[in-house]
Amino acid sequence: MPRPVKNVLFIMVDQLRWDYLGCTGHPTLQTPNLDRLAGRGVLFDRTYVQSPICGPSRMSYYTGRYVSSHRSTWLMVPLPLSERTMGDYLRENGRNLSLIGKSHFLPDRKSIERLGGLSDPDRSEYAMEGGFESIARDDGIFGRGPIQTKYADYLRANGYDSPNPWHDFANSAEGPDGEILSGWHLRYAKEPARVADQHGETAYTTDRAIEFIEGKGDDPWALHLSYIKPHWPYVVSAPYNAMYGPADVIPANRASSELTSANPVYKAMADRQESREFMRDEVREAVVPVYMGLIKQLDDHLGRLFAVLEGQGRMDDTLIVFTSDHGDYLGDHWMGEKELFHEESVRVPMIIYDPRAQADATRGTTSTQLVESIDLIPTFLESLGFDGAPEALEGKSLIPLLHGKDVQWRETVFSELDYAFHADVRKDLDRSVDECRGYMAFDGRWKFIFWEGFPPMLFDHESDPNERVDLGQSNAHSAVCKRMEKVLFSWLRGLKNRTTVDNKFVEEWRDKEFQIGQW
Amino acid sequence: MPRPVKNVLFIMVDQLRWDYLGCTGHPTLQTPNLDRLAGRGVLFDRTYVQSPICGPSRMSYYTGRYVSSHRSTWLMVPLPLSERTMGDYLRENGRNLSLIGKSHFLPDRKSIERLGGLSDPDRSEYAMEGGFESIARDDGIFGRGPIQTKYADYLRANGYDSPNPWHDFANSAEGPDGEILSGWHLRYAKEPARVADQHGETAYTTDRAIEFIEGKGDDPWALHLSYIKPHWPYVVSAPYNAMYGPADVIPANRASSELTSANPVYKAMADRQESREFMRDEVREAVVPVYMGLIKQLDDHLGRLFAVLEGQGRMDDTLIVFTSDHGDYLGDHWMGEKELFHEESVRVPMIIYDPRAQADATRGTTSTQLVESIDLIPTFLESLGFDGAPEALEGKSLIPLLHGKDVQWRETVFSELDYAFHADVRKDLDRSVDECRGYMAFDGRWKFIFWEGFPPMLFDHESDPNERVDLGQSNAHSAVCKRMEKVLFSWLRGLKNRTTVDNKFVEEWRDKEFQIGQW
């Protein structure tokens, strides 16, 4: 057994697709700091999230369970009170999990009310935060009305005076006559944000992390450092707003045939406003360079953070993960935003740095094993030398892969979508709110997407790695679809549902006392 | 809309199989009081429980959800704290649900501890009782050691002096020299219990119910009256112990071919001790008459209860349900106990009496619609005029059937088993505790039983209503098996998992504020 690591740093960014880093192959975007981290760790190049949208994806990261298991199926759906989180698993082993930035966690207030409230204020706070010790939580996305957040206070303290400086400064630009050009409109993307880079969300979040890590000194810690960017609003401070231009934008991955012979669910999603916007070249040419600028900004600030880690000796004792909660279509497949299961949406970058000698042999390598977001909790627990919870956790520790072990690995990754909250799509498709489920099963070659009530989608990565040809209704591929349906059925049956007792209890139980006696 | 009923009386007995009542066709057993109730109500003759064993079956009754949804998969598995119960649904509408007798509810203490405890003592008590207001809870099955229960105190107060009068008197007989003949041994079944009938568990439970109903007067109420009998220990007070003899026992439903060409899971269960006991004729001849005596005793005491209901005017304003949590093999199919999916185990009697004029047309009729235990909560809510919870409840109200409406009904019933706690079976079959699941799908003709890791079982009720010929491995029936697998897959996908928000919230949600703006 290798010695445990001392600390865990779990860095997540929001809405960063897998192919928008230097080390994952972007031809014009520069991310030297993350590339360097990948050079010292392993790049897990085929990492998939359990739902390609913030809330459910994050709840899978934070519970180690598929969406059908943790049941927070969409942004607005609180995590049921019974679900244990990453913070719980660490705390059971005596370690707090601190949070700086976004978690998207919604507490199950209805259950708490039904139960008459919690008695311990500390634990109540903890339950309301999903097991995180909130150092500086900031979920990032606000409207235009007044807000009270630590970051808003920080902006006001730095001279950005407004009831909502998040909107009016950090996420808006300024017109020639001083008017606010809201970042909610894509047309202003190219203009610089009204905050200096040093006061932007990414800088602020990084500053808090540096404070936290320096403050801990040699004490052990676990930190979820969770950036809101490059999530929209697509606005970035100078000089990042002008760092990339239309010439740096990779061509849209789309074919006109995708829209003409479309699956009904895909068609309804491609008909949403954000998709219609991103179909237009002028939108891509304005927005994508800014998306790239936001990533470059992130990389620069991560460079500051990594320097502190190095200076403090933390690169010797800290497991570092860098990943994202989902991608961003950016006009590919004629889509904006995320939620569907194309690579641009469901595949994320994942870099893991393990400081221990056992990981030396894999440094700088790329793993093509199929990885899921639910793998992180088992990875953290194993790296820290903590116990797991096989009755609930559905992922696999990545430590054996990091240590170059020859292990049997999974053959298929799964992802889910509940599109019930999209009234427009639901209406288009004539579905009730209980009938809006989709599932993806991807085995490295075949990506099979099952839609409740509609034909499936199917992509063959061997002949069509860009996923432009949907074979879901091709007679020649019905056998593949049938096989993948079986895989999905088997997966559904295997979801872990006996979570209120641990497996050891089950294994050791004997019913002698309460069994019918012998004759 | 018919006027609501005033009260609900939900009577459950434990381990009563569907065919051990006069009105369900038993040729020698007399149950005139229940037959009369069936004559005034509707006998739902094809009612199936969601798992053929107490805990998970009851949690399906009490949550209105399939086992994979409520996740209390076996006797020892607490119901997750997030699951709402029958008591919660009634309480949300201002009505308490009182409990007399057994609930088998296990609180999710681990979650409560993790959350630091509940603040309101009343609600805490309520959570610990699964939403029941416990008037006289008694789960019935105890070992031989000292016990403190209300019923034990009652026995002691009535002269049955012992640290465990439940075992030493109510569930034991007496030898010629005054020695205790424990009811845990089947060979003593025929001897009279050491309590007078008037002090037996069934009499005691009935007395509490009568007190409760008389005490309520004209106030509205809802009562779960839950008898522990005819569950083993198979011991009954005189004269019931001698009321039936071997000549009254219907022949065992079994064929030698069942054991010789057996499904591995069935074979392993048939190899358990209780099955080996009940295979023997001398056991059946000793035990089955006592099982019948326990049922006759129940019927007599229910006669007392029904007379009180009549006398108090409650037959005019009370919806009455009589049912069971599962059956008892009693040697049929070479099995003892329950858990597998033969009719003897998974099918239960269900009688519903609706006092309202709208139900007059169906009185005394038998419904052959496929009914599930999860249908009761929607039935109660509709009868009381209360709101339902479509985001969580998976059953269908039976009121339309009771009122003779022509409604589209379900085509398949489902039941589940998690046999992981049976170390002997698990070892026989070489399964880990996560691999012990089985599912039944029955459409009125085909009963399909899917076993994880083993061939399925299949019975054709058209040619083999007694389920003696397992067609699960017959090539001629592979198409049926495939079709039923699809039904099971579809059912699994449809389980309700978005339970922390209600459907109305989903339907009405609009994401205008947080959507990417237009160009």
- SS3 track for B81-119: CCCCCHHHHHHHCCCCCEEEECCCCCCCHHHHHHCCCEC
Chain A, nearest residue to B129 by Cα: A115
| pLDDT in single tens digits along all 519 residues of chain B | 889 999 999 999 999 999 999 999 999 999 999 999 999 999 999 999 999 999 999 999 999 999 999 999 999 999 999 999 999 999 999 999 999 999 999 999 999 999 999 988 888 888 899 999 999 999 998 889 999 999 999 999 999 999 999 999 999 999 999 999 999 999 999 999 999 999 999 999 999 999 999 999 999 999 999 999 999 999 999 999 999 999 999 999 999 999 998 999 999 999 999 999 999 999 999 999 999 999 999 999 999 999 999 999 999 999 999 999 999 999 999 999 999 999 999 999 999 999 999 999 999 999 999 999 999 999 999 999 999 899 999 999 999 999 999 999 999 999 999 999 999 999 999 999 999 999 999 999 999 999 999 999 999 999 999 999 999 999 999 999 999 999 999 999 999 999 999 999 999 998 766 667 778
pTM above 0.90, yes or no: yes
Closest-CA distance of chain A to residue B200, Å: 20
Rg of chain A taking only CA atoms, in angstroms: 23
What is the predicted pLDDT for the residue at A121?
85
Name every chain A residue with its beta carbon within 8 A of the beta carbon of B118: 115-119
Number of Cβ within 10 Å of residue B245's Cβ equals: 13
What is the predicted pLDDT for the residue at A119?
87
pLDDT less than 50: residues of chain A? none
Only one residue has tokens 């049941």, namely A71
- Residue A514 and residue B127: Cβ atoms within 8 Å? no
Using CA atoms, how far apart are residues B99 and B226, in angstroms rounded to an integer?
A: 7
Using CA atoms, how far apart are residues B15 and B326, in angstroms rounded to an integer?
A: 5
Only one residue has tokens 């288009």, namely A428
Distances (CA, A) of B352 to A36, B225, B322, B383: 71, 14, 6, 12
**Mutate: best of B500, B505, B514, partner A, most A CBs <10 A:** B500
Closest-CA distance of chain A to residue B314, Å: 31
Chain B, nearest residue to A69 by Cα: B497
Only one residue has tokens 């520790």, namely A397
Phi, psi of A458, rounded to the nearest 5 degrees: -150, 130
- Residue A78 and residue B500: Cβ atoms within 8 Å? yes
**Mutate: best of A104, A115, A505, partner B, most B CBs <10 A:** A115
pLDDT digits (tens, 9 = 90+) for B50-62: 999 999 999 999 9
Rama region for B53: left / alpha / beta (φ>0; ψ in -120 to 50; rest): beta
Instruction: Compare CB distances from A283 to B115, B500, B519 and report the shortest one's residue.
Output: B519
- Residue A497 and residue B71: Cβ atoms within 8 Å? yes
- Residue A111 and residue B82: Cβ atoms within 8 Å? yes
- Residue B82 and residue A81: Cβ atoms within 8 Å? yes
Chain A, nearest residue to B69 by Cα: A497
Instruction: Compare CB distances from B108 to A68, A127, A500 and report the shortest one's residue.
Output: A500
Name every chain A residue with its beta carbon within 8 A of the beta carbon of B76: 501, 505, 509
What is the predicted pLDDT for the residue at B431?
98
Name every chain B residue with its beta carbon within 8 A of the beta carbon of A117: 118-120, 123
Distances (CA, A) of A21 to A98, A155, A292, B346: 27, 29, 9, 57
- Residue B77 and residue A501: Cβ atoms within 8 Å? yes
Name every chain B residue with its beta carbon within 8 A of the beta carbon of A498: 71, 73-74, 77, 418, 420
Identity (one letter) of the amino acid at B218? D
pLDDT digits (tens, 9 = 90+) for B337-366: 999 999 999 999 999 999 999 999 999 999
Residue A170: DSSP 8-state: I
Name every chain A residue with its beta carbon within 8 A of the beta carbon of B111: 81-82, 500
Ordered domains of chain B (ranges, CATH): 7-142+193-410 (3.40.720.10)
Which ipTM score applies to this complex?
0.95
What is the predicted pLDDT for the residue at A120?
87
Number of Cβ within 10 Å of residue A157's Cβ equals: 11
Name every chain B residue with its beta carbon within 8 A of the beta carbon of A391: 434
Closest-CA distance of chain A to residue B316, Å: 33
Phi, psi of A5, rounded to the nearest 5 degrees: -75, 165
Phi, psi of A289, rounded to the nearest 5 degrees: -60, -35
- Residue B507 and residue A437: Cβ atoms within 8 Å? no
**Mutate: best of A82, A171, A234, A513, partner B, most B CBs <10 A:** A82
Name every chain A residue with its beta carbon within 8 A of the beta carbon of B518: 185-186, 273, 277
